[in-house]
Homo-oligomer: A and B are copies of this chain.
Amino acid sequence: MAFERLAGGPTGARRGRLSTPHGTVETPAFMPCASVGAVKALSPQEVREVGVELILCNTYHLYLRPGHEPIRELGGLHAFMGWQGPILTDSGGFQVFSLAPLRKITEDGVEFQSHLDGSRHFLSPEKAITIQQALGADIIMPLDECPPYPISHDEATDALERTLRWAERSRDVHKESDQILFGIVQGGVFPDLRERGVRELVRLGFGGYALGGLSVGESKAEIETVLRTTTPLLPADRPRYLMGVGTPEDLLGAMALGIDLFDCVMPTRHGRTGNLFTSTGRLNIKGAKFARDPSPLDSSCQCYTCRHYSRAYLRHLFLAGEILGLRLNTLHNLYFYSHLMQDARRAIDEGRYDVFQAEVLSRLSGGDTAD
């Protein structure tokens, strides 16, 4: 894998191209979550058609069901799920720390119970790599400790230090030349710890760097402080991934600070609850005011949903619980995210990202639904 820088300076928004065995990814890029091996409600073909190049799958979910060994036998994750483009898998750590009951963390790894059937499992840094190798993703992540928010400086220090020791063990067992291993920076909202995390990970050397442990309850100002502390220290020739973030506004802010990769459940999950992104802000399609509204969700949007359907029809499908409504909503939201990134990339290429960001933020504030 190679990461080529195309536009942008040493700080601020930047353009890049990530090459993987399953194709290239223009950055900055947004990855939708295909948690259990499918972007919820969509086909791989639809995901590709809205402009998505890279997707994220959750190791925790796939390890528990159907299991990484069956997936390997069936030709790996790409073949299993019919997605021929690049895939990033997380390590499973985040879900273990957020979903699984009865976790027990030791230096060796983390013991947990499946949220599906209560069965007991043990995930070590080495096992997280083994599972991701079996899945065959293009980009893989090391097991990290994801502490809750808020935590004390001492607790954040412990989590950071364990994450660094686990990162080194992960790097040592990672052998696949066609999989790129990222490092994950922890350290909570403490700038000194984040800075230490970056320096030690860079010393170990990884193919890319992720900022983890955010989007768990901190303020937007705290996230911005972490970004301002860490991005200037990260090597310019490696992709930077802000894990689990966020709203369109969050993405715009983080791109301005040099982030290349994002993932978030927001466009897909919000699609399924009728929360729809438009160029003038959000709307909830359940609203009675849409009952006889013949206009598309967003008259400036060229997605399949907006080209074919009225708000009145989408509201009807949503209220009737029709699967097609969930599909059309999700498709629209993902198109919105994908085209936000496409527009951002063009703005960076043309050296006008600041103006672009201000314009979009101004437009987005026009919606009727707060975050």
Q: Is the CB of A327 within 8 A of B316?
A: no
CA distance A266 to B319 in the complex (A): 24
Q: Is the CB of B38 within 8 A of A322?
A: yes
Known: A82-B308, A291-B66, A308-B82. A74 touches B324 (CB 8 A): no
Q: Is the CB of B36 within 8 A of A81?
A: no
Contacts A/B (CB < 8 Å), 16 sampled = A36-B316, A36-B322, A37-B313, A38-B324, A40-B322, A40-B323, A40-B324, A65-B320, A66-B316, A74-B292, A74-B310, A80-B310, A81-B313, A82-B313, A323-B326, A323-B327
Residues of B within 8 Å of A325, CB to CB, are 38
Residues of B within 8 Å of A291, CB to CB, are 66, 70
Q: Is the CB of B323 within 8 A of A43?
A: no
CA distance A39 to B327 in the complex (A): 13
- Is A73 positioned at the interface, with any CB of B under 8 Å from its CB? yes
Chain B nearest Cβ from A346, distance in angstroms: 29
A40 to chain B: closest residue by CB: B323
Q: Is the CB of A66 within 8 A of B312?
A: yes
Q: Is the CB of A324 within 8 A of B43?
A: yes
Residues of B within 8 Å of A38, CB to CB, are 317, 322, 324-325
Known A39-B324, A74-B310, A80-B310; 17 more pairs at CB < 8 Å:
A36-B316, A37-B317, A38-B322, A43-B324, A66-B312, A66-B315, A66-B316, A70-B291, A73-B292, A74-B292, A74-B313, A80-B313, A81-B313, A82-B308, A82-B313, A323-B323, A327-B327
Known: A73-B292, A308-B82. A324 touches B42 (CB 8 A): yes
Q: Is the CB of A309 within 8 A of B73?
A: no
* Residue in A80, A312, A320 whose Cβ sees the most chain B Cβ within 10 Å: A320
Q: Which residues of chain A from 314 to 340 have any CB-CB distance to chain B below 8 Å in the complex?
A: 315-317, 319-320, 322-328
